Structure 1
Amino acid sequence: MSTLAFARAALVGAGALALLGPLTAATAVAASDASQGGARIMAAPFTVVPYETVNVRSGPARSYDKVGSVTAGEPRGAYCWVRGEAITDHGYTNNVWVKLVEGYVSAVYLKGNEYGDLPASATC
């Protein structure tokens, strides 16, 4: 292969990579497992994981409509957290609700810290 042909191939390849944008390990894993909510993970800046199956609500309280559920251990994309109805379960009480792509879940059911492992600064 000539030097000129090699240089053209390198430029074409670099252009294709620029069009694809940055690809992180998290988006690669999410993209490879769409059946586990991968598209929902890629759309949000954070990821949360419930330790048990949890209801997803349209707002941060049980009085809001149930819009779905997330299976235990299934990662979901999350945007931020907000204070809402206090939920008590397994001897733990928390009024933090995490905003997912599809609605809100109580942080009581999420692995990690009191914010479902989101940063304390990630308020809605």
Structure 2
Amino acid sequence: MLVVGAASEAAAATRTYPIAPGYSVNVRSGPGIHYSVVRTLVPGSSVPIYCQAPGETVTGPYGTSNVWDNIANGQFVADAYVNTGSDGYIAPRCA
């Protein structure tokens, strides 16, 4: 399991990023679609990004990427569904 530090949580909590309009996005327990779904984000949701991890490649409305965004302890969403304004990493890599 990847753990997020309190300092990085506090820094990232000041900014959120919107999920692609019209999409319900599965939140998974790890960086890939083979991890269990822990909840589903409704259309119009925004999420903080505490750190990012490489994982399974996913194609979504914002392209194809193997970057997964950690939005809470043990909760990841595919970056291809999050409008970060970048095709790469915008946050530190998860430890």
Q: TM-score, normalised by structure 2?
A: 0.70
Percentage of identical aligned residues: 32
Structure with greater strand percent: 2
Q: Larger relative contact order (C-alpha < 8 A, sep ≥ 6)?
A: 2
Q: Which amino acid aligns with 2:68?
A: W
Aligned match for 1:59, one of 30, 35, 59: 30
Structure 1 consecutive aligned stretches of length 4 or more whose deviation exceeds 4 Å: none
1:123 pairs with 2:93: yes
Higher Rg of the two aligned structures: 1
Q: How many equivalent pairs are there?
A: 80
1:77 pairs with 2:27: no
Secondary structure of the 2:49 match is strand
Q: 1:50: which partner in 2?
A: 19
Secondary structure of the 1:123 match is coil
Q: Which amino acid aligns with 2:48?
A: G
Instruction: After TM superposition, list the pairs within 5 Å mapping 1:1-124 onto structure 2.
Output: 45=12, 46-51=15-20, 52-90=23-61, 92-101=63-72, 103-111=75-83, 112-115=85-88, 119=90, 121-124=91-94
The superposition leaves residues 40-91 of structure 1 with CA deviations (integer Å, 9 ceiling, x where unpaired) of xx86614221112210000000000000011222112220111100012358
CA 1:110–1:90 in 2, change beyond 3 Å: closer, same or farther? closer
Q: CA RMSD in A?
A: 2.3
Q: TM-score, normalised by structure 1?
A: 0.55
Q: Is the 8 A contact 1:79 1:98 kept in 2?
A: yes
